Structure 1
Amino acid sequence: MHQPRILRELRESGHAHRSVKTEVRENLLARLRAGEPRFPGIVGFDETVLPHLERALLAGHDLVLLGERGQGKTRLIRTVTGLLDEWTPVVEGCEINDHPYAPVCARCRRLADELGESLPVAWKHRDERYGEKLATPDTSVGDLIGDVDPIKIAEGRTLGDPETVHYGLVPRTNRGVFSVNELPDLAERIQVSLLNVLEERDIQVRGYNLRLPLDILLIASANPEDYTNRGRIITPLKDRFGAEIRTHYPLTIEDELTLIRQESTPGIGADVPEHLVEVIARFTRLVRESTAVDARSGVSARFSIAASETAAASAVRRAAITGEERAVTRVCDLATVVPSLRGKVEFEVSEEGRETEILAHLLRRATAETFRGRLGGMDLTPLLDKFAAGTQVESGELVPAGELLRRIGPVEGLARVMSKLGMGTGEESPGHAAAALEFALEGLYLMRRLSKDDVDGVATYRT
């Protein structure tokens, strides 16, 4: 598609100049009418968060997303750029993305006067129209808004020349979407610099007589005030945001499962059966609900994602050591997530020293709940009969699937067990069979129908 390269061609093409908020509003309305996805990759917010977000964007409001850590606030903010036009014209070489029809910086106004209809035009993709700053205590007004550029002064320009200004992140995202993550962590005196951006839509740089009208959608994220003591959003700034939207963790197991599957790193090299993903999802929810965990800090969605990846990595390690042809995650691999994820959870002070014990207990509960949900009503007598004569079966992180199957021996009804666990016809490898049987053994142990000794990572199942 031909893109005009000078101002005259742009006018002749019929291009109409729209503000950022108008772009977002009209493109959002078009997707709503067409029934198209508006925020791809966002899980569990369809009936709660997204309607509020859509209303805020249709109203043209700057907004704050408020929620505990790991609720997908930053991911949600980044998807808003998908509502911008795919391509937009800018004055070529402009640091703040001036529109050719209405340049606002001193450089572009000078070029427009000199070149007229021959003003050069460049094109920016919507992905380039997003800016982001993680608020940290060392963030300065110069970082966000701008400061004098000593290099330009050294080149011979006078100190009062507006072209000596080095623009900060906010003006450099002019005609785009700008995000301030963890806004309360920004020092209060720095938050003040955003007041004009939100209300008067302009910026002020030091002592310059400079009014730079900005066209920007500003979205901030923050943790609830009862969670963070590091700072707060100052009242005048909070008043200037048009909407405050609360986010949350996944409300259902199905959403949690979808999130784990979607976000887990591909390419680790191990299959994680569906029933084990469910165990991880239930484990995460139990940790969030536990009275031993500091509810104000929350348990990030990254907890469950990291758990899935750690369990998969354990299976890959076993396959590499033992020579298994296909790495499939089993119950024994779940135990490895407890020490790895201990640091991702904030416990109550009274539980100090019991962190590993608490997580291990909650993991067993999650396993038991999943077993009851998937195999609770199933007749597992053929498997129990294996132990009736005093047979013992050892399993562990380094016991390959083939060896575990040999120790258990043939089990009548194994195909039905695998089907109940969500393993299809294409998942009939020894690894999947071993994963199904070990899960059944663990479930029978948790239901107190078998005993288990666990010593140095080696589990021995017996009557």
Structure 2
Amino acid sequence: MPVKYQLRNAILSCIQSGVDPLGDIQGRGEAKADLLRALLSGANPFLISREGTGKTRLANSIAKLLPPVPSIKGCPYHDDPFWPKEWLCPRCRGVEDPINEFGVEIIDGMDRFSRIQGNEYTNYAKILGLKDIEAIRDGISPTDPRSFTGTGVFRGNRGIVFVDELPSIPTNVQVLFHPILEEGIVVLDEYNLHHPVDIILIATGNPEGFAHVNRVPRPLLDRLEMIHLGMPDEDVERLIVIRERFEPKEDYFRREETRHNHPDMNITSEFSRNRIAVPWWVLDLIVKTVGYTRTCKNFESGASIRGGIKALDHAISSAEMRGARVVRLADATKGLKLALRGRTTIIPDLIGFEEDEGVIFKRIDRVIEDLVRFALTRIADETLNHLAIDPMTLKEAVINGDPGVRLSKRVKEMGEGVGEVDPGSSEWKYALIEFLANILALKGVLSENEVSKRFFVPQVFVDERRRGLKGYK
């Protein structure tokens, strides 16, 4: 059965069972619906989205839907045992009975998933294949199909070929996909060979890329269905950041049966990152700050979802380095600086030109910290509105250094954090008092100078080169 029909059956079976076929991808309902329409129609999707939006995960999810199929054992092209001989690869075609010679194996969808990374160096060899020097050395003619080793498309035969950043591939190379999508064949003129392939092509492109890199030829674009995969909303992004955070698994490096032989390699609960509690306000601060990099006028380009994932990882690591069990605002700020330096581009006017790199890095960090402060201001507004408590009551709790059971419970119930949360611990109380003190400082109820003597307070960015330039939202 052709791979497009296999995928149709798998998708429809999920729908009839009430299961989301693309459950690994959270949010983006409209884009997922368009993608399913395209796949059910036997079309090839072209996903337009920014980096870090889950394109690769989405392609993997589609590959996982494919059912296991029989294949001639060891065949690099995943030849079907029931195919006619002229459809087989040179290796399988070169013997009288390939089933008897090599045997049959069952391969799943991920075994038939091939990724081609598009860039200016992507060429014929990466998409189709290259000459096998060993075969030529053994006396096989360079024009004999047996001297050809298939790569990208052939490795995805009977499955998914994922072409990441299609527009980045030179136009004269992109045309190699025309006969594949139109007729289901790979044309190898040098070998006088037209080889059938059975694939679903999933391509991606950056929305900014069409203005800066090679365009996709119209005949090729006419064979693709363009789908916009946007950024998820804040709540969904929060869930993704939590789910994708770094947490070593005990069986990550070895099989279960070998674990007892290497007790020193076991990852004990003592060092599990789940021990570290991340309060909801810290998690919100990370997600909001990363989100604002995409809309703030002082950022030429913002961070992807991956920026939030790594910022959370780094914040937890900062707490571990302090020997602490609760992540604080300072940990989150340090994590955001580390995660966003290379994932964002700040406008040159704020960074400066031809200066010492140390100065530039410090200025980048200060701009990021200012954005953290801006995000914290928004969280402060939401918190005060939700709690509906007189700020003077909060001021008393901060001055006394004790939020009390009732206030602690109300704040904790405002959101879900990460890790082992103990609202009664001294660390948790300190983190909460720090958060409340920042709220009151931002609202002018407490002196920021006084608060900063006891707690971390993110600072406003002031460009010393331009008098009076503060804040930039």
Measured against the shorter chain, the TM-score band is 0.7 to 0.9
Contact 1:453-1:459 at 8 Å conserved across structures: no
Q: Which residue, out of 272, 278, 281, partners 1:272?
A: 278
Q: C-alpha displacement at 1:162, in angstroms?
A: 2.0
Alignment of 1:79-118 (within 5 A): 79-85=61-67, 87-103=68-84, 104=87, 105-111=89-95, 113-114=96-97
Q: Does 1:372 pair with 2:381?
A: yes
Change (3 A) 1:145 1:118: closer
Q: C-alpha displacement at 1:204, in angstroms?
A: 2.2
**TM-score w.r.t. length of structure 2:** 0.80
Q: Does 1:62 pair with 2:53?
A: no
Give the whole-Å Cα distance in 2 for the aligned partners of 1:205 and 1:60: 25
Change (3 A) 1:290 1:306: same
Give the whole-Å Cα distance in 1 for the aligned partners of 2:451 and 2:441: 16
Q: Does 1:329 pair with 2:310?
A: no
Q: C-alpha displacement at 1:239, in angstroms?
A: 2.0
Q: Does 1:304 pair with 2:284?
A: no
The answer for the alignment partner of 1:428 in structure 2 is 424
Alignment of 1:12-23 (within 5 A): 18-23=1-6
The answer for the alignment partner of 2:345 in structure 1 is 346
Question: Which one is further off, 119-128 or 419-428?
Answer: 419-428
Give the whole-Å Cα distance in 2 for the aligned partners of 1:21 and 1:303: 35
Deviations 1:237-263 (A, max 9, x none): 22222x111011112x21121111111
Give the whole-Å Cα distance in 2 for the aligned partners of 1:427 and 1:459: 19
Q: Which residue, out of 240, 243, 253, partners 1:259?
A: 240
Give the whole-Å Cα distance in 2 for the aligned partners of 1:450 and 1:227: 51
Deviations 1:81-129 (A, max 9, x none): 12100x2101123220110111512332343x44688872111122211
| Structure 2 gap ranges (5+) | 248-271, 353-362, 458-473
The answer for the alignment partner of 1:196 in structure 2 is 179
Give the whole-Å Cα distance in 1 for the aligned partners of 2:407 and 2:133: 75
Matched residues, percent identical?
Answer: 28
- SS of the aligned residue for 1:453 comes to helix
- SS of the aligned residue for 2:448 comes to strand
Give the whole-Å Cα distance in 1 for the aligned partners of 2:125 and 2:337: 43
Q: C-alpha displacement at 1:219, in angstroms?
A: 0.6
Give the whole-Å Cα distance in 1 for the aligned partners of 2:390 and 2:416: 18
Alignment of 1:88-167 (within 5 A): 88-103=69-84, 104=87, 105-111=89-95, 113-114=96-97, 120-167=103-150
Which amino acid in structure 2 is aligned with residue 351 of structure 1?
L
The answer for the alignment partner of 1:210 in structure 2 is 193
- SS of the aligned residue for 2:341 comes to helix
Q: Which residue, out of 53, 58, 63, partners 1:76?
A: 58
- SS of the aligned residue for 2:226 comes to strand
The answer for the alignment partner of 1:36 in structure 2 is 19
Give the whole-Å Cα distance in 1 for the aligned partners of 2:276 and 2:210: 37
Change (3 A) 1:361 1:118: closer
Give the whole-Å Cα distance in 2 for the aligned partners of 1:19 and 1:194: 18
Q: C-alpha displacement at 1:438, in angstroms?
A: 1.0
Give the whole-Å Cα distance in 2 for the aligned partners of 1:174 and 1:306: 35
The answer for the alignment partner of 1:446 in structure 2 is 442
Which amino acid in structure 1 is aligned with residue 154 of structure 2?
P
Change (3 A) 1:255 1:290: same
Change (3 A) 1:22 1:270: same
Q: Does 1:50 pair with 2:32?
A: yes
Change (3 A) 1:444 1:158: same
Change (3 A) 1:130 1:114: closer
Q: C-alpha displacement at 1:227, in angstroms?
A: 6.4
Q: Which residue, out of 212, 217, 220, partners 1:229?
A: 212
Which amino acid in structure 2 is aligned with residue 372 of structure 1?
D
Which amino acid in structure 1 is aligned with residue 350 of structure 2?
E
- SS of the aligned residue for 1:211 comes to strand
Contact 1:270-1:313 at 8 Å conserved across structures: no
Which amino acid in structure 1 is aligned with residue 76 of structure 2?
E
Q: C-alpha displacement at 1:75, in angstroms?
A: 1.4
RMSD of Structure 2 on Structure 1 (CA) = 2.7
Q: C-alpha displacement at 1:419, in angstroms?
A: 3.2
| Structure 1 gap ranges (5+) | 1-17, 392-406
Count of matched residue pairs = 413
Q: Which residue, out of 277, 288, 293, partners 1:287?
A: 293
Q: Which residue, out of 379, 392, 395, partners 1:384?
A: 395
Deviations 1:174-224 (A, max 9, x none): 101011111112122221222221112111224111111100011111101
Change (3 A) 1:129 1:385: same
Change (3 A) 1:457 1:440: closer
Q: C-alpha displacement at 1:228, in angstroms?
A: 5.5
The answer for the alignment partner of 1:246 in structure 2 is 228
Contact 2:116-2:126 at 8 Å conserved across structures: no
The answer for the alignment partner of 1:8 in structure 2 is none
Give the whole-Å Cα distance in 1 for the aligned partners of 2:168 and 2:203: 12
**TM-score w.r.t. length of structure 1:** 0.82
Contact 1:24-1:83 at 8 Å conserved across structures: yes
The answer for the alignment partner of 2:319 in structure 1 is 315
Change (3 A) 1:457 1:148: farther
Contact 1:68-1:298 at 8 Å conserved across structures: no
Deviations 1:1-39 (A, max 9, x none): xxxxxxxxxxxxxxxxx1111111111011011111212
The answer for the alignment partner of 1:419 in structure 2 is 412
Deviations 1:352-404 (A, max 9, x none): 346444322221121122222234322353442367xxx6xxxxxxxxxxxxx
Question: Which one is further off, 297-306 or 437-446?
Answer: 297-306
Q: C-alpha displacement at 1:74, in angstroms?
A: 1.5
Contact 2:168-2:209 at 8 Å conserved across structures: no
Change (3 A) 1:382 1:145: same
- SS of the aligned residue for 1:207 comes to helix
Q: Does 1:26 pair with 2:9?
A: yes
